[in-house]
Amino acid sequence: MNAPENRQLQKSLELALEARAEAPHTPTAAPLGGELQDARHIGQAIPRPNLERLTEGRGQYVDDIELPRMAHVVFWRSPVAHARIIRIERDFARMMPGVLAVYDGADLATICKPWVATLTHLAGIKSAPQYPMAIERACWQGEPVVAVVAKTRAEAEDALQYIQVEWEALPAALDMNTALDPETPVIHPELGDNLCFTRSLDTGGVDEAFARADVVAEATFDFGRHTGVTLEPRCQIADYNPASGQLTVYHSQQAPHMMQDLYSRQFDLPESSVRVICKDVGGSFGIKVHAYPDDFATVAMSILLKRPVKFVADRLESFVSDIHAREHRIQGRIAANKDGDILAFEIKDVTGIGPFSMFPRTSGIEGNQVVNLTGGPYKHKAYRAKLDVVFLNKTPTCQYRGVGHPIACAVTEGLVDLAAAKLGMDPLAMRKRNVIPDDAYPATGASGIKLEVLSHEACLRRIETLMDYPALLSEQAALRAKGVYRGIGFATLIELTNPGAAFYGVGGARISAQDGATLRLDPGGGVAVMVSVGEQGQGAEAIFAQIAADAVGVPMSAVRLLTGDTEAVPYGGGTWASRGAGIGGEAVLQAGLALRANILKVAEAILKRAVQTLKLDAGVVVDAVTGEALLPLHELGRVAYYRPDTLPAGFTSELMVTRHYAQRDYPFIFTNGVQASYVEVDTETGFVKLLKHWAVEDCGRVINPMLVDEQIRGAIVQGIGGALFEECLYDDAGLMKNGSMADYLVPMAGEMPDIVVAHVETPTRSSMLGAKGAGEAGTAGAPGAVVNAINDALRPLKAECWSQPVTPEKILRALGHI
């Protein structure tokens, strides 16, 4: 045996294992009480049960489904930003082999009503009626104009080339900074101007705070328009059965009940006649929580053709038809006194959306969030913000992972760093001094947001030791002396999760703020769990299984999950705004506890022993005191279902229960955290090397630390994408220049750093479970941390760059090299 090599091997194996467990999870939350004191699954890093399927290629994504007589639709999309459609010649396409129909916008409008996406709580928001396909006028490059339906996808694509559209180009509004100027064409003349939504917020005292400040720092922050690039494109199969009047839609979607409601209303179908089924979803990130025009078009064509129609976006059309997000320019400034106390923030935000507000969540929410969240971690009282959301002839924008948070955080944290630099103060010390202290909750932020309970101070302490900040600072200083420019950047953040009805319901959107879980004990002792929050890969089904197992008192292997079918699961909102664990999880917990109580009542009837003397443990009814096994669940199930004649008169076994949960204590349950980035900037080439990234996150009770860590890592990398690589680039005519995977850059394995994740656990008191959301905080904080690190590296060279993505070109310009 080669001993040294063996030691090396052992070492590398240890390293591989350590890499994930670098920051081992030690729960800091108080253990759950009552029936849950024996919880064996909640809090454990248990692998997801549904992964076996996906690693063997046995998932079922929408494009994997084939139905009898299924047709395929492809769209002719507007090739220009703004055009009047003069004539559509479809006869040649109709003659092509396999073609079943060719439709234009007017055809589909006969059975599908138009929509206008506004919310009443976004005062004054306006938009124009939008149809499944453009009628008379196309308003962005990528808007569907003509649809070809054929027996196969290839035949539909063949025929598409024979569609001839005559159009007249119209002047377009393409620059958000000039969209409101009088010389810019107004996209919808009936609206009067290109202003979709505007909001002003002023706490008062802002001018006074800036007047008495010892330092004022300001900067203009630019954020490139980017998109989600789900690896599975948007896709659906609409299957209308004219005999039953039933519409079934297989959809890669995050909110099946929302879609059920929208299909029902836009097509005037009874709600009960619409069923939406979401099987495996190949990535969503908010891209798949909206109702797209081509969704309605596909349904319309299935109704018209009386057969299933499949739509799968190809990658090129994804880039111009999936929602975009995050195109903002923010002028921000901060006031501080010489002790380092932040006195005030002020921002002026302009953001460019598409030609329509996106249905049904609107394109006003992102900017609204920026106003709500800027300055969020800090205790200053003076804040002023102005927001303009303007229409552009570009792809519509809407909510994408993080929704406003990455922008608000990068602006806030950039300004804090600028102020700290002016004061000559350490940026971490500046944050420690200004965060709302951990003992001050509940608190209200300057923007008026209600904060239940946060742990900024604990998180800042944790990250300082996690990254060994003093050592890093000396390394940085030593290397700078050698001409190596490394930077350290921090981003403190808050993230809204577990929303109540405040998000959409109060504004009139029919999107459920409540979710439900149904749990059923089967005769064999298994527990079927049906939840209205679905699986998009984040591990929702796994944590629901963990919670159900502990709540009922069965092994996790006895639990089976069903999600994503409006016909089978309780009504609910679905997966968005980091609400799955906190809201769906609480519903599962409550249903599980209720099922446990009902099971014990059945045991009481069978065993003729008082229920107080019984306990359910790992699938067996046991003596509460001695732990003696009395009745396994498969025996209890046998008696309950097959031999109810042996039970006392008047007794009924209720072995299926449903419970719902809606978070009603606060508009949102905020989480908090802090991230740090360590980068090296090559001042010759402008390239940035990400050396390491740290995140300390408080998402309340951690149900599965491995899954939370991986949510945070994945979200951080998506945030890094926006900070360094991703941008939808448009030319002067409003055409996207980099709309392919080869040209639109996203993070790859080679350039990503290892990410160390640690937790502080401050459970929310708004639920028994105490879980808050964890899916978006990574994306919220990463861009701010990385951009601050880059600027920290550039600071000794008197250069700065606040324009995301921070490309090598921008860095070289900042350095004056080009």
Partner 1 sequence: MMSPEKSIDDLSTEARPVHITVNGTPGQHSVQPRTHLIDFLREDLGLKGSHLGCEHGVCGACTVRLDGQIVRGCLVLAVQTDGRRVDTIEGLSDSGAIRDLQQAFIRHNALQCGFCTSGMLMAASELLEQKPRASREEVREWMSGNYCRCTGYQAIVNAICEVLATRQAARIEGATA
Sign of CA dihedral 763, 765, 770, 774: negative
Tokens at 745, concatenated = 């850059």
Q: Which of 392, 321, 322 is nearest to 350 (CA)?
A: 392
Q: What one-letter code names the amino acid at 756?
A: V
The answer to whether 57 contacts partner 1 (rule: CB under 8 A) is yes
Of 6, 272, 646, 652, the one binding partner 1 by CB under 8 A: 6
Of 481, 625, 649, 742, the one binding partner 1 by CB under 8 A: 742
In the β-sheet with 614-617, what is the strand arrangement from edge to edge?
Answer: 614-617, 620-623, 629-632
Stretch that binds partner 1, among 329-337, 439-447, 536-544, 650-658 (CB under 8 A): 536-544
Of 539, 585, 734, 784, the one binding partner 1 by CB under 8 A: 539
Rule CB under 8 A: which of 296-335 touch partner 1?
314-315
Q: What one-letter code names the amino acid at 333?
A: R
Q: How far apart are CA 419 and CA 597, in angstroms?
A: 57
The answer to whether 61 contacts partner 1 (rule: CB under 8 A) is yes
Q: Report the C-alpha dihedral over residues 788, 407, 289, 535, rounded to 10 degrees.
A: 30
Question: DSSP assignment of 607-656, as one string?
Answer: HTS-GGGEEEETTEEEETTT--EEEEHHHHHHHHHH-GGGSPTT-----E
Site map (CB under 8 A) of partner 1, residues 256-285, x = contact: ------------------------xxxxxx
Residue with smaller CB distance to partner 1, 237 or 707: 707
Residue with smaller CB distance to partner 1, 217 or 277: 277
Chain centroid, CA 209 distance in Å:
36
Residue with smaller CB distance to partner 1, 606 or 756: 756
Residues 6+ apart with CB under 8 A from 416: 334, 342, 378, 427, 430, 431, 434, 492
Residue with smaller CB distance to partner 1, 14 or 218: 14
The answer to whether 471 contacts partner 1 (rule: CB under 8 A) is no
Name the CA radius of gyration of the chain, rounded: 28
Stretch that binds partner 1, among 47-55, 74-82, 258-266, 578-586 (CB under 8 A): 47-55
CA 640 vs CA 508, 555, 633: distances in Å? 45, 20, 10
Site map (CB under 8 A) of partner 1, residues 705-724, x = contact: -xx--x--xxxxxx------
Residue 280 CB, nearest distance to partner 1 (Å)? 7
Tokens at 357, concatenated = 């507000």
Residue 7 CB, nearest distance to partner 1 (Å)? 11
Residue 710 CB, nearest distance to partner 1 (Å)? 5
Residue pair 396/356 in contact by the 8 Å Cβ criterion: yes
Residue 634 CB, nearest distance to partner 1 (Å)? 28
Stretch that binds partner 1, among 113-121, 228-236, 386-394, 798-806 (CB under 8 A): 228-236
Question: DSSP assignment of 298-367, as one string?
Answer: HHHHHHHHTS-EEEE--HHHHHHHS-EE--EEEEEEEEE-TTS-EEEEEEEEEEE--SSPPTTT-SSHHH
Rule CB under 8 A: which of 138-157 touch partner 1?
154
Rule CB under 8 A: which of 343-372 touch partner 1?
none
Residue 61 CB, nearest distance to partner 1 (Å)? 7
Q: Which of 496, 287, 405 is nearest to 783 (CA)?
A: 405
Q: Which residues pair with 689 in a beta bridge?
A: 680
Residue with smaller CB distance to partner 1, 42 or 373: 42
Of 748, 796, 797, 818, the one binding partner 1 by CB under 8 A: 748
Residue 538 CB, nearest distance to partner 1 (Å)? 6
Residue with smaller CB distance to partner 1, 143 or 232: 232
The answer to whether 10 contacts partner 1 (rule: CB under 8 A) is yes
CA 639 vs CA 645, 647, 761: distances in Å? 9, 8, 43
Site map (CB under 8 A) of partner 1, residues 677-706, x = contact: -----------------------------x
Residue with smaller CB distance to partner 1, 54 or 116: 54
Stretch that binds partner 1, among 229-237, 320-328, 458-466, 587-595 (CB under 8 A): 229-237
Residue 241 CB, nearest distance to partner 1 (Å)? 24
CA 192 vs CA 127, 128, 297, 391, 458: distances in Å? 11, 11, 29, 12, 51
Residue with smaller CB distance to partner 1, 677 or 683: 677
Residue pair 599/616 in contact by the 8 Å Cβ criterion: yes
The answer to whether 16 contacts partner 1 (rule: CB under 8 A) is yes
DSSP code of 666?
S
The answer to whether 649 contacts partner 1 (rule: CB under 8 A) is no
Residue 791 CB, nearest distance to partner 1 (Å)? 23
Stretch that binds partner 1, among 30-38, 210-218, 230-238, 473-481 (CB under 8 A): 230-238
Residue 324 CB, nearest distance to partner 1 (Å)? 16
The answer to whether 69 contacts partner 1 (rule: CB under 8 A) is no
Stretch that binds partner 1, among 26-34, 46-54, 191-199, 215-223 (CB under 8 A): 46-54
- The secondary element (H helix, E strand) that includes residue 236 is strand 235-241
Q: What one-letter code names the amino acid at 427?
A: P
User: CB count, 10 Å around CB of 64?
Assistant: 13
Q: Which of 343, 253, 243, 241 is nearest to 292 (CA)?
A: 253
Residue with smaller CB distance to partner 1, 103 or 725: 725
DSSP code of 560?
E
Q: How far apart are CA 29 and CA 791, in angstroms?
A: 36
Residues lying near partner 1 in the complex (CB under 8 A): 1-2, 5-6, 9-10, 12-13, 15-17, 19-20, 47-48, 51-61, 63-64, 154, 228-233, 280-285, 314-315, 536-539, 706-707, 710, 713-718, 740-742, 746-752, 754-755
